[in-house]
Structures are given as C-alpha cells and as structure tokens.
Amino acid sequence: MKYLIPHSLKEASELLIDNENSFILAGGTDLLIEKRSGKITPDAVIDLKRINHEELYLSEIVVKNGKLEIGALVTVTQLLEYGNLPSELASLIDAGKKFGCYEIRNRATLAGNLAHASPGSEYGSTLISLDAEVEIFNSKGVKNISVESIYAGAGRNALKRGDIITKIIIPVIENSGSAYFRASRVDGMDLAIINCALRGIYDRNTSKTSYRVSFGAVAPVPIRFPQIEEMLSNIENNRPESVKEVLAEAKQFFLKTLNPRATSLRAAPLTKKILAGNLLEDAYKKFKERLKK
Amino acid sequence: MSIPLNITINNQSYSLEIEEDTTLLSLLRDTLHFTGPKEGCGNGECGACSVIVDGIPVRSCIILAAELEGKSITTIEGLTQTDEKGNVELSEIQKSFIDEGAVQCGFCTPGFVIATEALFNRNPNPGKEDIEEALSGHLCRCTGYKSIFSAVDKAAERKNK
C-alpha cells in the first residue's frame, strides 16, 4: 500500500483518479479498521492532512453568511470544543458527546462519518435533520449536494472517483432548535441501536412549527419521515393534551410502518420500533425546552 | 516501499525508514520495542494501545506511523523518570494504580494510565464525570473499574497537594 501526500485538493483528486483502488485518509478511524479486517485492500491511501495553506479551511469551523461551515478535517473533539456554536445547532453537540470515545473523537472527522455512510452514524441523521449540505471538490470545480444524497446504501457513499468532501454547510435559522438522541447497549463506546435527530423551526407569523426528523439504523441509510414531520407540525400550542396525542399517534406509526432488518446485531425489529417512538418523544421534548431559552 | 519518518518518542528523536502501512502501534512495539502500549482489539475499541500524540491521546492501532512526520509521541514508558544510576521512578499515576490494586493482569493498564495522564494535562482537577468520560473508551476485564477510579482519584489528590 502506498501512502500519498497531496499538496492541494486538485492533486488529491488526481491521485484518486490515477490510483483506482485508493482511499482518502482523514482520521482513519473507519478506514484503517476496514483495512485490517480485509474488507478493503487499498493500493494507496491519500492523506489530506498535509494539504497546502490555501486550503486551510479544511481544518476550520466558521460561521459565514448565516451558515456554519465545518471543514472536512475537523474532528469531533474540535467541534465539541468550538466556542461559538449557534445554540440552534445543539444536536451537533448531542451527537458528538455520544460519538465513540474521547480518543476516537480526537481523530474522527464529521466528513469521514458521512463518507463511511454507516446506517446508524451519529452525524448522518443529525446533519440530515439540520438540512445540511456538503461541498464536493473535483476536477470540474466545486458543487454542493444535500447530505441525504451522500448515502447510496449501507456503508456505500454516492461520491464519484475523484470527488472529495471539503466541507459541511449547515444553515443557522432563527427561532429554531434541535436535538439528537440515541439508544445503545452501553452508554460509553458503542454504536447506536437506533438514533433520532430532530429540528424544528417556529414561525412567529403563523405560530406554527415545521419539523425535519431523521432516524438512523432503521433502514440501510438514515431516513426522514415526512408523515412524522407533518404529525408534529399539527401539535396545538394551547392544548397540552395535543402533545400526548400526537406522540401516541407517532408511536403507533412506527409500530405499523417501520421494517428494520431482523439480522441486526444490536436489537430485534420490535425493540427498534418501540425505541423509535421513545426517542422521538425525547428529542421533541428536548427541542421544546431548548426553543424556550 | 519504505519511506523516511522523523518522529520524537518519549523526548528522543528518531530518523527511521518505515513501511507505508505500518501502524503507530506496530512501530512502537515491533520496531522500537516500546511494549507498554498493547494490542487488544486492534480496532480502536479497547483502549490498550493508547498513546499521546502532541498532547492528545489517540489509539495507536488505527493510525499509520507515516501520518506522524515531525510529531511527538508519549508512551507509558515516557511517564517514568530515570536517574543517572539507572533507577526508575514511577509517576504518581502509576504509583496510585499500584496502591489501589487497579492492576490485575495489567494488559489494559498502560491505556488507562495514558488516558489519565492526558486528562490531568487538560484538566488538573477533574470531577467524577470528567474521569468517567476520559476512561469510558477503555476496557478492563479484571478489576470491575472501581479500583481504577479510586486510583485516578488518588493520583488527582496527590497531584493537587
């Protein structure tokens, strides 16, 4: 295996094309495990960490034009320690605190979490619920695509050879709030049995709230449930029982419609169906609590 | 193919030729014989291979040595002091682990000690939650963790005296 050090994004993209069986190396916390297990046998890894100064934004977090931009080399620890995170994006912190363990968070990147395309990844559902985009660099230039469209299947991303994720771009929206919850067998280093991310935007003119809700590890890719989003938007602000009714309806919906695979190592399908409703309730309540502040 | 690597380990500089797919753990153990870090799972899950790179604790089994040009590594061997007569003095953390019976088979211990050292470096006065968080990615199959937490508490007390 060759270890390649590009000095620009252009060079990195060319190296990806020239070396058919090559992989981008950022934190390596998935890549090197898959290499060791024999799941992949790279001829080359292309380390992005020594790219030239003009592309330093790869390692930066900035708020620009009402959007939070997270560079492709930003680690989970870097995000957790970032002092200026807009409170609307609190779900990014919820997810980071559950992510791996301290040493893993010191290496793992958010962009790598998306590129690995695991069905239950912490940041897949979180970033989808936040309506985030990723910036992709290739020889033709730069384009933005939705986080949802990165996922092609379980453990498969939709990137083309030569494509490199350069940043994640998240809109910061006034009067909005977010939350992320997961269920796992142990609280420490573990993967999610299932996870749920929710974002709500309160419209002052109509007094209505609109939602994006995404779940991980209930399907081959993290998915949204428009029916659930619609149900939540029908919660009546002035009638407390309305919350209970809608959450009960949502729980029934998951029992009837979720179809998680029976071969999951972590939980039986029925467990996941029940957990989905419970996590939605947790996420909704946390969102309401945060929106008030 | 081998490539050059300049790296500092426990305050000593090395100029080496390494294979490109050598992990940091393999470089430390197999090439340089720093056998403190252990290979438990080899997948970054158990914590036994933890070392400190430029002040930050990481899993050496899932890092390529080639990534670490110019970096400074601390293994558990680097926490001890050796005087001119060759006598080795253990660190307060290591002593506390012994005093509290936090070492049984000892395989996981270097990882716990390194995680504790890194915790004290970023937070000299950690609370219970900080300690649990710092050690949450480390597995011990012998002690049941209680004696390990006592050892970290004791080391913090000694340090802050």
Instruction: Note the pLDDT tens digit of each residue in A153-205.
Output: 999 999 999 999 999 999 999 999 999 999 998 877 888 899 999 999 999 99
Domain borders along chain B are 2-79, 81-160
pLDDT averaged over chain A?
95
Do the chains contact at A36 and B64, CB–CB below 8 Å?
Answer: no
| CATH fold group of domain B81-160 | DNA polymerase; domain 1 (1.10.150)
pLDDT averaged over chain B?
96
- Asked whether the ipTM of the predicted complex exceeds the cut of 0.90, the reply is yes
Q: What are B72-86's pLDDT values in tens digits?
A: 999 999 999 999 999
Whole-number percent of chain B with pLDDT over 70: 100
pLDDT for res A293? 59
User: pLDDT grade, residue B160 (50/70/90)?
Assistant: confident
| Tokens standing for residue A258 | 């979720």
For residue B137, give the nearest of A35, A37, A189 by CB distance: A189
Residue B42 has pLDDT above 80, yes or no: yes
Ordered by where they begin, the domains of chain A are: 53-293 (3.30.465.10)
User: pLDDT grade, residue A263 (50/70/90)?
Assistant: confident
Distance, in Å, from the CA atom of A39 to the CA atom of A116, rounded to the nearest integer, reads 13
With beta carbons under 8 A apart, name residues in chain A contacting B47.
101, 103
pLDDT for res B34? 98
Top CATH class of B2-79 equals alpha beta
Mean pLDDT across B138-147 = 95
Do the chains contact at A102 and B136, CB–CB below 8 Å?
Answer: yes
Beta strands in chain A (DSSP E): 2-4, 22-25, 44-47, 61-64, 67-71, 133-138, 141-146, 151-153, 156-157, 164-171, 176-183, 194-203, 208-216, 223-224
Mean pLDDT across A195-224 = 96
Instruction: Determine contact, residues A211/A229, Cβ cutoff 8 Å.
Output: yes
With beta carbons under 8 A apart, name residues in chain A contacting B57.
102-103, 106
User: pLDDT grade, residue A20 (50/70/90)?
Assistant: very high
For residue B62, give the nearest of A29, A49, A187 by CB distance: A29
> Of B86, B78, B149, B81, nearest to B112 (Cα)?
B149
Q: Is it true that B2-79 and B81-160 share their CATH fold? A: no
User: pLDDT grade, residue A31 (50/70/90)?
Assistant: very high
